[in-house]
Amino acid sequence: MASHVVVIATDLRRTTVKVSPGTYLSDVLDQACQKLNLSRDKYIIKHKQKQVDLSVPFRTSGLTGGAKLELVQRSNTPSAVQIALQLPQPEAKDIPGGRLIKRFPADLTLWTVMRQFESGEASAGRNMNITARGYASTTSGSGQLYYETPVLNIMGREFSTLEAFQKTLSQIGHNSGNVLVRLGYKRTDQTLFEAMERISEFFEEASQEASQEASQEASQEASQKASQEANQTANLGVKGDAMSETDGSSREAGSDNVVGKQTHVPPAALPKDNVDATPRASPDGLEQNATHSTSSALRDPYRPVNVFLAPTGTTPAAASIPASDSDFTPTVAHAQLHQARLLESSRNKRLPSDKELEEKAAAEDARIASIRSVLVKIRFPDNTSSEWQIAPGDTGAFLYEAVRRVMADPGQAFHLVLPGSTTVIKDSSSPSHNLVKAYKLSGRVLVNLVWEDTVPSSVRKQPFLRRDVVDRGREVSIPDLPQMQDEPEGVAPLKETRTDDKKERVDGANKIPKWLKLGKK
């Protein structure tokens, strides 16, 4: 008995698709997308906010006649499907269980799946012949090999033609889960040589059509973006002309008044910032600016910005700062923050969508592009340290070369490690080892220098820096922290007892009525 379903697109367009009890829901999706002029690979079907299994027929889907189905855009990232290929005899004897099992993305075609099983990766290292089998004809004595085409049986549906093998797993309704595929073979009257030629020609034409469709979609998207940008530019131009016309008269009217006011202001009344911002040009100042710019341009990038000497005391500087007991006492704010974090961690969170991942990646790229320089401080084994200003394009090789130029013995091997992790900065100038993009350095960063195991102990005991670099060094200055006085805890005010209200009440207001009193026995 024939029935129908209503398919509603994302733009609220709808179409009616006739179905029978044996119609597969993947065919319903194909017909709906064809009528609505949509790409079938970009949509899935949902019914009452639940995804519909496209691999089952209408009879077992649980849908009723006239059901309203919604077209929803699928995720750009294909999901994984576990395929179990049931081999026929006698190939199944050499394989445990007679099945080959492997996970594939849902956007792979059936032909590609068979080729993957043939390659040996999915067949436990065994090379199999599935798509190029031949058999000798016993009816004629020519000795010609004829083609034996594979036949895939997937949940009662058979696929045996090249057009059917071009369908992807998602197109036949399998987007996730496990799928059993029974493999069989069917003899044809076509020779093996002709079949191989036809297969090669067919897939060449299919690849060309796919490339043409991709180029057409790209050109359409580019034209749409160009038209949108042109419309936005035209709107901005019209708004700019209107603003310029309305502001022109006001600017002309107020220009004379502004100039008059500025001419009457004495120089002494001007702020110092304005006076300093517009200094008079003098030959000496021009020469000084030129010298400063030349020196900054010719500055050696491998020269450290600051050099710090090792501390002389045995006690760490942080331990010498006095601390009160109140610094280690948790407050109410700490307890509230802890409770908020526990509450946030107890909530179920969904995985980010493709759009959210793209936005996060774009924000990260924008943050990296906004970095102009990074101050890297390298701590050496003898507790001395130096700082270098690095540019966004510098790699790990820059840091290694900068360290070797200040070492007393630059021939010794070492490596640079980021603190708090086991990440080692590689001595490589390739873009994959960029300090900002690859190692995510930003702001002020501390890097530890660690000797290699091949460095002898006699070298480790010697000073790390050269003598002329040590002469430029200075001690680490500890800033004076302001002394915070503990505020005495205030005495909580006593609650005022309001007795006047009781006195103001009428005497009979608090009395118990006579009819409520219990009788005396």
Q: What single-letter amino acid sits at 364?
A: E
Q: Is residue 168 part of a domain?
A: yes
Q: Are residue 66 and residue 89 in the same domain, yes or no?
A: no
pLDDT score for 354:
87
> 372: which residues sit within 8 A by CB, 6+ positions away?
392
Q: Is residue 491 part of a domain?
A: no
What is the residue range of 466's domain?
303-308+365-472
pLDDT score for 58:
84
Residue in the block written with tokens 């923050």: 337
Q: Are residue 21 and residue 100 in the same domain, yes or no?
A: no
CATH number at residue 423: 3.10.20.90
Q: Is residue 441 part of a domain?
A: yes
Which residue, 444, 435, 362, 351, is CA-closest to 394?
A: 435
In eight-state DSSP terms, residue 22 is T
Q: Are residue 86 and residue 193 in the same domain, yes or no?
A: yes
Q: What does the pLDDT look like over 360-387, one tens digit per residue?
A: 999 999 999 999 999 999 999 988 999 9
Task: Answer with the one of 160, 177, 200 that is the final residue of a domain.
Answer: 200
Q: What is the pTM of this model?
A: 0.41
Q: Is residue 65 part of a domain?
A: yes
Q: Are residue 57 and residue 96 in the same domain, yes or no?
A: no
pLDDT score for 447:
93
pLDDT score for 279:
41
pLDDT score for 193:
84
Question: How much of the chain is helix, strand and coil, in % rounded to 5?
Answer: 40, 20, 40
Q: Are residue 36 and residue 104 in the same domain, yes or no?
A: no
The total number of structural domains in the chain stands at 3
Q: Is residue 192 part of a domain?
A: yes
For 50-82, letters b (16+ CB in 10 Å) and e give eebbbbbbbeebebeeebebbbeebeeebeebe
Is 44 in contact with 175 (CB distance < 8 Å)? Answer: yes
Tokens of 403: 């360290």
Distance of CA 349 to the CA centre of its chain: 16
Q: Are residue 106 and residue 174 in the same domain, yes or no?
A: yes
Q: Is residue 515 part of a domain?
A: no
pLDDT score for 269:
41
175, 179, 185, 189: CA torsion to nearest 10: -20
Name residues of the chain where pLDDT drops below 50: 238-240, 242, 244, 246, 248-297, 490-492, 494
Task: Answer with the one of 430, 455, 472 that is the final residue of a domain.
Answer: 472
Q: Are residue 98 and residue 66 in the same domain, yes or no?
A: no
Q: Are residue 96 and residue 124 in the same domain, yes or no?
A: yes
Q: Are residue 164 and residue 90 in the same domain, yes or no?
A: yes
First to last CA, the chain: 89
Q: Is residue 147 part of a domain?
A: yes
pLDDT score for 214:
56
Q: Are residue 94 and residue 189 in the same domain, yes or no?
A: yes
Q: Are residue 48 and residue 152 in the same domain, yes or no?
A: no
Q: Is residue 244 part of a domain?
A: no
Left if phi > 0, otherwise alpha if psi is -120 to 50, otherwise beta: which for 477? beta
Task: Answer with the one of 47, 73, 99 that is the final residue of a domain.
Answer: 73
Beta strand extents in 243-379 (DSSP E only): 306-308, 374-379
pLDDT score for 21:
84
Q: Are residue 420 and residue 442 in the same domain, yes or no?
A: yes
Q: Is 353 helix (H, G, I), strand (E, B) or coil?
A: coil
pLDDT score for 161:
86
